């Protein structure tokens, strides 16, 4: 199987760290032999403070400020902003005092912030609280939510006080305390589902880390910027060489100045506005059959251009090539008069989504099959660990080797990872059965979800995708096969709730952040077990702090006055409306969807075969997996620009010029994320609302 690395250079992935430190890749083995570093007490302390800032602050930013969503993506703006502030402002002072934070300490606190940032937003709390209360508040005789949905929701999943629900959306009367006690039992019950799901994420990450990092040598494009930012060549410089690179600052200035103009325009309308947010091309494709490609627009996020420069040209070309391939299908179908409808919740044609999910499932199976050697080895290691716990006499009779397992450098022992994986899936299925979703149906839904989600994590770690959204999800697959009549009313209500909470919007994912944190720990020779513990503690703190922050804000301001995307749209427009449709009208089994998925399976099989067998084959499977999804609708143009720039540089300048310009393109990423964080801070200080720097 071909392995494509950064800049097409045949080097070990951790040689990025070597280059950052001015060390030749030939000395990588010496670096690997270094003893791992323990997580220090002050990195724990600063990391926890960062997590609390995110858990409390992101709900305020999302709900009240209604601006840029700083907790989104696998590289959240909020996490980056904290690392930037500490690295560029706090740490130079500490280094001048001889107490500077090391790269390992900076990476530790960044990793803690990385896994925490999404939880207060779309990753959990931003959806969970409205999903709990929304069906009760928005129920009316006209929409029949009370008749169709509420009888199927267990009482222990939501507060039973009508006032607690009403005041959440309308605000508390004067001199009234938030009824947080009403939420203790429902949220505790929900944690019985959430924690097993997160446990599975941690266990899967622990099992796949070695395969992806050391065996397949995935690039992990999103981790290069924090590694460069935190690298110090000596103990004297207040900042690392990355911040002293003139090329980086030259590239940095372009998006920074543009966002500065646009930010000032929000405050002073006389300042010119430079539209890089969204340039609609729909008016140019208004007549049939060309209007079938709508929505069609150009956005110019410089961070995506910078990330695309880091990726292999084959991969970035495949992303926009397959996007246009699917658009061509839409135009062809429209020309022949085919009736096309969008999938639920996304502006993606259903027959396109069917092909994509078929390819995703096959790629997930292929990926696990490709890792079978490592996974079987890990299973044997876990069995040896279990045997070593037996009494000596039983061990002798077993005739099984009890050599010391080789998982000391892993985030958790293989035995614990497999055991946690089993316990997590069983606990999820039991929870679903108790709630009314059915044990087998819940098991099937989440098993499909974890396979599909592993593919999404792979797209982040190999393809540098900021986020991945699958328009056709496991619940849609089950409905296409069995139809809504194959499930009881209560099953439909609960399984649809699972789908919307965990699977509908993956823009704040946890598992990709766990994988990237373990990669960072590996690059900086951190103790992965201690790092994994820090990540787990960070997740728990983020959950609890965001629960409290979210509830207090909604009770204080009233959910109807806050950002409707969180408090209203997902719960009323998506979950309740779709569930009511399934319960009243229903969805029959869909042979067309099954055929479309089979087409996707066969197409992906062909792409994988050609990509594996022929070096000249120009298309990467990741392009087909991303297809015409929401991220590609938004980012096809900057990906194409990044690809073109890299091809030109490699063609006329070669690898030497490519490496010289690499800090500049990292500067594009840093400038855009810094600008978003800076203007969010300015808006907070000035009390401004609705200032969106850029969106995802």
Q: pLDDT confidence of 542, banded at 50, 70, 90?
A: very high
Section 262-285 average pLDDT: 96
Crossing angle (nearest 10°) for helices 528-557 and 184-210: 150
pLDDT at 397: 47
Distances (CA, A) of 658 to 601, 618, 643, 646: 37, 21, 13, 8
What is the pLDDT at residue 358?
Answer: 97
The closest of 534, 519, 670, 683 to 88, measured between CA atoms, is 670
Task: Give the model's pLDDT for residue 91.
Answer: 95
**Lowest-confidence segment of 33-47, 59-73, 326-340, 481-495 by average pLDDT:** 33-47
Segment 73-79 mean pLDDT: 96
> pLDDT band at residue 1, thresholds of 50, 70 and 90?
very low
Q: What pLDDT sits at residue 404?
A: 47
Tokens for 507, please give them. 């823009």
Q: Which pLDDT value is given to residue 392?
A: 54
At 443-485, the pLDDT tens digits run 999 999 999 999 999 999 999 999 999 999 999 999 999 999 9
Tokens read off for 329: 């299908």
Looking at per-residue confidence, does 33 or 263 come out higher?
263
Express each pLDDT in 364-374 by its tens digit: 999 999 999 99
Q: How far apart are CA 386 and CA 331, in angstroms?
A: 58
| Overall average pLDDT of the 81-109 stretch | 95
pLDDT tens digit string along 11-59?
333 333 333 333 333 333 333 445 788 999 999 999 999 999 999 999 9
Count CA atoms within 13 Å of residue 244 on its CB side.
10
279 forms beta bridges with: 298
Beta bridge partners of residue 37, listed in sequence order: 526
- Model confidence at 403: pLDDT above 50: no
pLDDT of residue 10: 33
Q: What is the pLDDT of residue 695?
A: 80
pLDDT of 294: 94
Mean pLDDT, range 507-522, rounded to an integer: 96
Cα-based distances in Å from 307 to 6, 87, 176, 226: 11, 21, 49, 13
Query: What integer pLDDT is reported at residue 69 of this predicted model?
Result: 95
Distance of alpha carbon 588 from alpha carbon 573, whole angstroms: 22
Is residue 358 within 8 A of residue 598, CB to CB? The reply is yes
Q: What is the mean pLDDT of residues 636-655?
A: 97
* 401: pLDDT strictly greater than 50: no
pLDDT of residue 233: 80
Q: CA-CA distances (angstroms) from residue 610 to 146, 281, 550?
A: 53, 34, 49
Report d(CA 481, CA 479) in Å as an integer.
Answer: 5
Helix (H, G, I), strand (E, B) or coil at 454: helix
Percent of the chain residues past pLDDT 90, beyond the cut:
88
Domain residue extents for the chain: 47-686
Report pLDDT digits (tens) over 226-242.
Answer: 999 999 987 678 999 99
As a whole number of angstroms, the distance between CA 638 and CA 665 comes to: 13
Tokens encoding 577: 């409306």
Question: CA 648 from chain center: how many Å?
Answer: 31
Q: Phi/psi at 624 (nearest 5 deg)?
A: -70, -35
Residue 388, pLDDT score = 66
52 or 9, greater pLDDT: 52
pLDDT for residue 391: 60
């Amino acid at each position: 199987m071909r392995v494509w690395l950064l800049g097409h250079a045949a080097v070990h992935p951790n040689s990025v760290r070597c280059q950052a430190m001015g060390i030749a890749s030939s000395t990588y083995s010496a670096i690997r032999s270094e003893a791992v570093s323990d997580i220090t007490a002050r990195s724990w302390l600063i990391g926890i403070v960062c997590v609390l800032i995110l858990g409390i602050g992101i709900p305020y930013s999302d709900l009240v400020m209604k601006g840029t969503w700083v907790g989104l993506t696998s590289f959240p703006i909020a996490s980056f902003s904290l690392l930037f502030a500490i690295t560029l402002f706090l740490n130079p002072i500490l280094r001048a005092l001889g107490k500077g934070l090391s790269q390992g300490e900076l990476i530790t606190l960044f990793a803690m912030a990385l896994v925490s940032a999404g939880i207060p937003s779309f990753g959990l709390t931003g959806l969970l609280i409205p999903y709990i209360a929304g069906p009760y508040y928005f129920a009316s005789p006209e929409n029949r939510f009370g008749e169709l949905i509420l009888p199927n929701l267990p009482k222990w999943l939501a507060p039973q006080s009508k006032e607690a629900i009403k005041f959440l959306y309308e605000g508390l009367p004067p001199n009234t305390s938030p009824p947080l006690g009403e939420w203790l039992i429902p949220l505790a019950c929900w944690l019985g589902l959430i924690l097993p799901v997160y446990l599975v994420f941690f266990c899967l990450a622990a099992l796949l880390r070695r395969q992806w990092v050391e065996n397949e040598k995935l690039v992990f494009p999103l981790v290069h910027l924090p590694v460069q930012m935190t690298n110090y060549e000596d103990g004297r410089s207040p900042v690392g060489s990355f911040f002293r690179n003139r090329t980086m600052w030259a590239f940095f200035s372009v998006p920074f100045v543009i966002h500065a103009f646009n930010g000032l325009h929000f405050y002073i309308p006389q300042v010119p506005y430079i539209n890089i947010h969204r340039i609609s091309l729909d008016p140019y494709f208004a007549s049939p059959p060309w209007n079938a490609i709508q929505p069609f627009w150009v956005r110019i996020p410089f961070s995506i251009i910078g990330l695309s420069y880091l990726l292999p040209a084959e991969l970035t070309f495949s992303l926009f090539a397959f996007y246009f391939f699917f658009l061509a299908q839409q135009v062809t179908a429209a020309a022949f008069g085919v009736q096309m409808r969008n999938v639920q919740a996304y502006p993606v044609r259903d027959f396109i989504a069917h092909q994509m999910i078929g390819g995703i499932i096959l790629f997930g199976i292929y990926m696990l099959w490709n890792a079978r050697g490592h996974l079987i080895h890990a299973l044997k290691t876990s069995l040896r660990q279990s045997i070593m716990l037996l009494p000596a006499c039983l061990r002798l009779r077993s005739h099984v080797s009890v050599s010391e397992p080789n998982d000391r450098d892993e985030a958790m022992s293989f035995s614990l990872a497999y055991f946690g994986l089993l316990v997590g899936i069983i606990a999820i299925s039991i929870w679903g059965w108790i709630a009314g979703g059915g044990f087998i149906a819940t098991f099937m839904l989440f098993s499909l979800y974890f396979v599909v989600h592993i593919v999404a994590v792979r797209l982040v770690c190999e393809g540098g995708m900021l986020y991945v959204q699958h328009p056709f999800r496991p619940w849609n697959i089950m409905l296409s096969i069995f139809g809504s009549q194959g499930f009881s009313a209560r099953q439909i209500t609960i399984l649809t709730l699972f789908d919307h909470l965990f699977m509908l919007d993956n823009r704040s994912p946890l598992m990709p952040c766990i994988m990237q944190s373990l990669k960072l720990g590996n690059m900086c020779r951190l103790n992965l077990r201690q790092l994994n513990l820090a990540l787990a503690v960070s997740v728990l703190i983020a959950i609890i702090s965001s629960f409290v922050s979210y509830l207090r804000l909604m009770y204080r301001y009233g959910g109807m006055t806050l950002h409707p995307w969180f408090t209203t749209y997902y719960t009323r427009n998506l979950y309740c409306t779709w569930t009511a449709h399934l319960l009243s009208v229903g969805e029959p089994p869909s042979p067309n969807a099954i055929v479309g998925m089979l087409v996707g399976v066969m197409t992906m099989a062909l792409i994988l075969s050609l990509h594996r067998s022929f070096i000249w084959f120009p298309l990467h499977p990741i392009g087909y997996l991303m297809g015409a999804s929401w991220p590609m609708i938004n980012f096809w143009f900057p990906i194409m620009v990044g690809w073109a720039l890299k091809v030109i540089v490699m063609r006329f300048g070669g690898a030497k010029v490519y490496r010289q310009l690499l800090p500049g393109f990292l500067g594009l990423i840093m400038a855009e994320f810094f600008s978003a964080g800076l203007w969010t801070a300015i808006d907070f200080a000035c009390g401004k609302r609705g200032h969106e720097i850029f969106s995802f």
